Structure 1
């Protein structure tokens, strides 16, 4: 926000991403064939029959953990942790001693100096805009029974919203135009994301006369297939 002089909407992929899309229904190791791991809200990752069998209780635990995460997020966002005066204390440990970490600290110091000037000039810096933040959540709309159970009708507008997240997206394996996931998302009023190559994403919007609302860049220090070109 400081660097671009533009408002920034903060969206986090959290509080609900417990299902994993899979290309096959079964996995085989050393002659043993078991259902594939489909995410912690369905079955377990360990390769044995007990863990790989679907367990409905996992959906209850996933919901409880998501609700707990959201409560913690609200506490951080409104309880002073997000105050601009703490900008120099915000850091990501794994980039703290990297080039990116150094660039962040430099920018944070500039913000801190600007806040100091505002305070010295008599401008208040304890306004809620400076001490709290709005934070939105997002995940892939994958496990339809879970998403359907958390969908509600807004009685004031007559519109349906999936309350499992603010922003939902349809993934690479579930974006068939005649599929159940697209049909379900078609009836929602949530903002919807679609996984597509970035240039094609902008090309489609240009052809349709619409504008891109934003792009999602996925980053991790772990060697996951989604970030290195695997399936």
Structure 2
């Protein structure tokens, strides 16, 4: 899927203009500053014929703000009749620099954003269409917490990412089981 980032989704920008002419399914990252008008404008620009499966919004709001910002956007799109898929990226808006100097994420915060995303979808009557997770099957120490309770002092032990911190194999399984429970609710 081709997608546009949160910082490049301007309606009058080159990225939106380029993707208008692409026939593939499209994704758009949506952060905490997104407005109703932004979202509806993107629907009109990128999916004017309201084709199911064409447009996916990828919420990346942050654990602290998703419960407040996302519901009005979900409701606006639902009321518009646009067949949008809503997914959640709980990783990007929850990244920070640890005192050790390593860029990291906290597993509990990632799960909080996911729970809040699923809760907002349920309250709005919108199906949560997926999650975007950065993970590896390796035993890295890039994200804090999880059932292994990785601490900040352990980040340097197996920090291998050249870019963003990833959940390790155990944390990925922890997340998968918790998301399965959210889907059952």
Q: TM-score range by the shorter chain?
A: 0.3 to 0.5
Larger radius of gyration: 1
By percentage of residues, which structure has more helix? 2
Give me the TM-score of the superposition, normalised by structure 1: 0.31
TM-score by length of 2: 0.37
